[in-house]
Amino acid sequence: GAVVSQHPSRVICKSGTSVKIECRSLDFQATTMFWYRQFPKQSLMLMATSNEGSKATYEQGVEKDKFLINHASLTLSTLTVTSAHPEDSSFYICSAPMTRSRDNEQFFGPGTRLTVL
């Protein structure tokens, strides 16, 4: 199957700093990528849809200025958590649909665990 990577896998930062998370589709091009947040023992909640060459689409309740998304190329999307606070501590997962696959199957990255002290 297709591979989606995320970097870093874990990050610890101080409150008030910014953190960048990368999502890469390694063997296919993705004009769209999705960013999810998962709190402990909870489900995945879609935060935003990253679109190559245009602005991201954010879900209701997600602060655009806090979670900056840049889809720099057909294989890379980045999520920057600006001025991070402890309540931003969570598990962040990206996914990318492979348009040439049957039913645009989505492939998920391994996730990034963010801890804000």
Decide if residue 93 touches another protein (CB under 8 A). yes
Q: Give dist(CA 98, CA 19) in Å, integer.
A: 27
Decide if residue 56 touches another protein (CB under 8 A). no
Sole binder of another protein in the list 11, 44, 74, 76 (CB under 8 A)? 44
Sole binder of another protein in the list 7, 51, 74, 91 (CB under 8 A)? 91
Contacts of another protein in 13-32 (CB under 8 A): none
Q: Select 6 or 16, whichever has its Cβ closest to another protein.
A: 6
For the bound state, the minimum distance from the C-beta of residue 105 to another protein, rounded and expressed in Å, comes to 7
Q: Give dist(CA 116, CA 114) in Å, integer.
A: 7
Q: Give dist(CA 36, CA 111) in Å, integer.
A: 9
Amino acid code (one letter) for 80: T
Report which of 51, 87, 45 is spatially closest to residue 66, judged by C-alpha positions. 87
For the bound state, the minimum distance from the C-beta of residue 16 to another protein, rounded and expressed in Å, comes to 27
**# residues contacting another protein (CB under 8 A):** 18
Tokens 């492939």 found at:
107
Q: Select 14 or 41, whichever has its Cβ closest to another protein.
A: 41
